[in-house]
């Protein structure tokens, strides 16, 4: 029986692990990142991959790094035929890549060589790509630059958020992994080298990236809102210019915007052109944006028709 070891951390990785277990290919051990503080209480929280592995009786290893001799030796004692990686989050040095008999296989959320790196799902939406997909790649020491065994494309929905696309890609990744695993192990699929001239990079998302620039065309702002939903959430700040009312928001209040669509409208970028139960419309550098789901600090998300009863943004500038 093939000895598999799995490495992953977030929900994307959990989907591939679950697919392996359901197919009767449970790994002999699972690697995941150390528990991290989470929530308001900042209590240590296990990763989705760890919780799934423990629930199914799979041993879990959580080294802070794989660059030590001890980490390499620990992996070697597992005698893996293949190490499967899906959104693990730690760099695998060459010494680790050399341990498994059949090397290391990565489940990556893009059609390589497009969108190598930490945030391929967000990058695809930000760029306005019509499609993305999953690649099963032989891992090398470089960043997502190894030869590809198999790729499969899916269309990106016109209004699809990063969270929604993530869930579809995670499920597809697990399906393709199980469907192609035996052929890859048997050498029946020849991995093809990537075309370096077509490579693009998807860097890790920083929370500051999600601040809205109203000088951009509305279509660009709408893509950013989709790309940063659910993390970290696109946001803007209130710049109070009209005479304050009893329900006006203080200057500097951070306002999160979860869903929006392009509409007609002209005005100084960031100006709230319409604010009533019919619509919340903000001027952009080109066209305008209809805000459909918003959130005040300490409040839950609210559709626009409900949000207009929580605060007054009529004529206000956002920046």
60: domain CATH number is: 3.40.50.170
40 confidence band (pLDDT: 50, 70, 90) = confident
Q: Which domain holds residue 302?
A: 207-318
How far, in Å, CA of 92 to CA of 260, rounded? 39
Q: Identify the weakest region by mean pLDDT among 41-50, 51-60, 100-109, 188-197.
A: 41-50
pLDDT digits (tens, 9 = 90+) for 273-301: 999 988 899 999 999 999 999 999 999 99
What's the average model confidence in pLDDT over 8-24? 98
Pick the last residue of a domain from 202, 217, 252. Answer: 202
Cis peptide bond upstream of 113, omega within 30: yes
Q: Are residues 246 and 146 located together in one domain of the fold?
A: no
247 confidence band (pLDDT: 50, 70, 90) = low
Q: What is the pLDDT of residue 42?
A: 78
Q: Are residues 30 and 60 located together in one domain of the fold?
A: yes
Q: Are residues 154 and 275 located together in one domain of the fold?
A: no
Q: Are residues 249 and 163 located together in one domain of the fold?
A: no
What's the average model confidence in pLDDT over 304-317? 90
User: Higher model confidence: residue 252 or residue 184?
Assistant: 184
Q: Are residues 44 and 16 located together in one domain of the fold?
A: yes
Concatenated DSSP letters of 28-48: SEEE-PPPEEETTTTEEE--H
Q: What is the pLDDT of residue 270?
A: 96
Return the DSSP state at 8.
Answer: E
Burial class (CB in 10 A: 0-12, 13-18, 19+), 55: exposed
pLDDT digits (tens, 9 = 90+) for 161-191: 999 999 999 999 999 999 999 999 999 999 9
Q: Are residues 10 and 149 located together in one domain of the fold?
A: yes
Average pLDDT, the chain: 95
Q: What is the count of structural domains for the chain?
A: 2
SS3 254: strand
How many Cα atoms within 13 Å fall on the side-chain side of residue 171? 6
Q: Decide: pTM greater than 0.85.
A: yes
Any alpha helices (H) in the chain, and if so which ranges?
A: 11-22, 48-55, 69-77, 94-97, 120-126, 162-186, 218-227, 304-307
Share of the chain above pLDDT 70, in %: 98
Q: Are residues 285 and 220 located together in one domain of the fold?
A: yes
Q: Tokens 């559709």 identify what position?
A: 303
242 confidence band (pLDDT: 50, 70, 90) = low
What's the average model confidence in pLDDT over 243-261? 83
Q: What is the pLDDT of residue 277?
A: 86
Q: What is the pLDDT of residue 1?
A: 79
Residue 196 has pLDDT above 80, yes or no: yes
Residue 21 has pLDDT above 90, yes or no: yes
Q: At what angle do helices 11-22 and 162-186 cross, to 10 degrees?
A: 40
Q: Identify the weakest region by mean pLDDT among 32-41, 192-201, 262-271, 305-314.
A: 32-41
């Amino acid at each position: 029986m093939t000895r598999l070891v799995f490495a992953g951390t977030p929900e994307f990785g959990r989907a591939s692990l679950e697919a392996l277990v359901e197919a009767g290919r449970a790994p002999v051990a699972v690697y995941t990142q150390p528990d991290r503080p989470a929530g308001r209480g900042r209590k240590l929280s296990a990763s989705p991959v760890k919780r799934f592995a423990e629930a199914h009786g799979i041993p879990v290893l959580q080294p802070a790094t794989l660059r030590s001799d001890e980490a390499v030796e620990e992996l070697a004692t597992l005698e893996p035929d293949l190490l499967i990686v899906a959104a693990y989050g730690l760099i695998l040095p060459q010494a680790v890549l050399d341990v498994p008999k059949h090397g290391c296989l990565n489940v990556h959320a893009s059609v390589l060589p497009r969108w190598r790196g930490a945030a391929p799902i967000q990058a695809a939406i930000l760029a306005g790509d019509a499609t993305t997909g999953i690649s099963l790649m032989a891992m090398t020491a470089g960043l997502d630059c190894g030869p590809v065994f198999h790729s499969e494309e899916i269309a990106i929905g016109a209004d699809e958020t990063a969270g929604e696309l993530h869930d579809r890609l995670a499920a597809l990744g697990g399906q393709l992994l199980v469907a192609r695993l035996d052929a890859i192990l048997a050498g029946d699929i020849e991995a093809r080298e990537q075309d370096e001239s077509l490579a693009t990079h998807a860097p890790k998302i920083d929370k500051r990236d999600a601040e809205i620039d109203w000088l951009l065309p509305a279509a660009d702002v709408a893509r950013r809102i989709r790309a940063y939903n659910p993390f970290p959430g696109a946001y803007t700040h209130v710049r109070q210019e009209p005479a304050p009312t009893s329900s006006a928001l203080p200057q500097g209040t951070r306002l999160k915007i979860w869903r929006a669509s392009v509409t007609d409208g002209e005005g100084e970028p960031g100006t709230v052109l319409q604010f009533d139960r019919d619509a919340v419309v903000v001027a952009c550098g080109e066209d305008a944006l209809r805000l459909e789901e918003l959130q005040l600090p300490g409040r839950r998300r609210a559709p626009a028709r409900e949000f207009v009863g929580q605060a007054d943004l009529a004529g206000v500038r956002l920046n």
